Structure 1
Amino acid sequence: MLAFLFLLLVGFALFISYYFTNKMTNQRKQILLLKHQNNSLKNKADLEKEEQIIVKYHYPDKNQGIIKSNCKLYLWPSDKSATLNSLMENIVVQIHDSAEINEDLWYEISILSEDRTNSKGWIKSDCLTFEDIT
């Protein structure tokens, strides 16, 4: 009986050892893959650096606007930025800030909706109009 319990304990210890060794090996592979992806993204970012960025922040004249044509909502104020959302015509937006970047005017806006996923970002000034909002 004692030998059976000992064998059971040794078997359980071997199983636990195998299980966690396997998990560590998988984690190590994932870390190496993420390191490789991170290095390739860093190299890509180094190649795409702009010469100089000049940002002049302005207080926006209005606090609401209307999208006048279909446009994209960007994560940061640049055409090379990641796109968060596509905005349709005649959507009312809240204006939080504005910035002039390399002589282009951008507005930081948020969409007035219940769903707050990808609802805040930057758009170019030519996508926005300031008509009377009722």
Structure 2
Amino acid sequence: MKFICLLLLLATGGEYLYFNNQLDSNRRKLIVLSKENSQLKNRVKEIKKYNSLSIKFSEPLYSYGEAKSNSLLYLSPLETSPILCKMNTSAKIKLLCTAEVLDEIWYEVLLDSPKNINSRGWMKKDFIIINEVTTTSINFR
């Protein structure tokens, strides 16, 4: 009888320790998730700060260019939009469209990439070198 009570007491103590560890782990996860949630809320507030946004689209003067190294490719022509990729080296690009947003010039570009994943997006004018002399095309898809 004493053996069964001792075994039952040990099992109860083990369960207590196990569930206490689970509770602590979930508390830590909840704290991390609440911090991430507040950061995302702040980011959404930044994105929503544009009450009226006007974008002036036009055809680019040149069809091809070169993206500088360490340039960023954005999903939309806003610095608060998600970054699709960061290019570590310079790359040839095709200029598809020009947009003026918040007094900045952006180009919609197509990267010369064998993959069709994240190869089209928006770049600031500062990250693009346009060779005005050459009018030769690049073999794009």
Q: TM-score if structure 2 supplies the norm length?
A: 0.59
Relative to structure 1, the CA distance from residue 47 to residue 113 in structure 2 (aligned partners, 3 Å threshold; closer, same or farther) is closer
Q: SS at 1:107's partner residue?
A: strand
Q: How many residues align?
A: 97
Relative to structure 1, the CA distance from residue 127 to residue 85 in structure 2 (aligned partners, 3 Å threshold; closer, same or farther) is same
Sequence identity, in percent?
Answer: 30
TM-align CA RMSD: 2.6
Q: SS at 1:76's partner residue?
A: coil
Counterparts of 1:101 and 1:120 in 2: how far apart (Å)?
18
* Displacement of 1:47: 2.8
Dislocated runs of 4+, deviation >4 Å: 42-46
Relative to structure 1, the CA distance from residue 68 to residue 46 in structure 2 (aligned partners, 3 Å threshold; closer, same or farther) is closer
Q: Unpaired runs of 5+ in structure 2?
A: 1-37, 137-141
* Displacement of 1:130: 1.0
Partner of 2:45: 47
Q: TM-score if structure 1 supplies the norm length?
A: 0.62
Partner of 1:107: 107
Counterparts of 1:97 and 1:55 in 2: how far apart (Å)?
12
Q: Unpaired runs of 5+ in structure 1?
A: 1-39
